[in-house]
A and B are shown apart, each in its own frame.
Chain A
């Protein structure tokens, strides 16, 4: 299995080829793992009241797990009336992809179409695999292989999940509402490595739950986001060496 990008004749050491192979393997593995939970997005989206076309459209165009789950989560709670809050929740969760784009831009290089394609597949997974590679070339390969593998897998399994959800009917009886909450726990879990993140998570959950009976559906989640802005601005509970960690490249 030789990736297309390694067939040039530059006399790289054996290490470089090994790095590139590892990047390809890691990208495909991450793609397969991510694809597995596209099924849950598809099923939950249909359970939230979207049809199969709408569900697939989101996975193709939006293509960012956290934002997708947020959109259907807010719509499930508040219906079409919660539309603006649903859009805002999805967009706010997408802000981090913009930060990833800043890190990935020097890796993919110049060119309008290349950057458009790269931007589309700039997500948690492709960024993480790219930045974990040791050489510029293996970072570039890691980014593209992971992004494309996740894109293809995620869209196929979204469609499968939507068809399953459609066939199930009464989704509450199958516990799909609990599955949606569990999916958010899974997205949050890897981000709770620091005290600051744990404190923000607890405070945001309390704020959202407290405001639920008071505000229209969707708004409690947006107000809870202010916790992050305030804590982040003043760096409460943050380590002083925290600044810009992992951003140097």
Chain B
């Protein structure tokens, strides 16, 4: 696959899923299991992406400036700091630590 093919395939898949929701009979909505799995799926994927994005280095696991940056970010989200501020602070923490070491 080329990069463009990946981007187009993923974009169409996500758009199709959105539109599919309008075609599904609403009876399915009243079954708790599908919507519970969908909610938890989002949680699991985001948590897995945090782990890989924080610790991964290709196929290796590494400990570097990303770990303190993510801990700071979690702390800031816990005290309801706006998203964009947290993202910038996390970048600054990692960049600062790398500049020092």
Contact = CB atoms under 8 A, between A and B. Distances in A.
Interface residues of A, number: 107
B98 A94 contact: no
A33 B44 contact: no
Contacts of B12: 61
Nearest to B88: A179
Given A175-B95, A209-B55, A224 B21 contact: no
Contacts, number: 337
B45 A247 contact: no
Interface stretch (A12-20, A118-126, A133-141, A148-156): A118-126
Interface residues of B, number: 80
Interface secondary structure of A, over-half rule: helix
Contact of B45 (A39, A49, A70): A70
B44 A180 contact: no
Interface string A27-61: 00000010011011000000001100010011001
A123 B25 CA distance: 19
Interface of A: 33, 36-37, 39-40, 49-50, 54, 57-58, 61-64, 66-67, 69-71, 73-78, 80, 83-84, 86-87, 89-106, 115-116, 118-120, 122-123, 172-189, 191-192, 196-197, 200-209, 212-213, 216-217, 220-221, 224-225, 227-229, 231-233, 235, 238, 242-244, 247
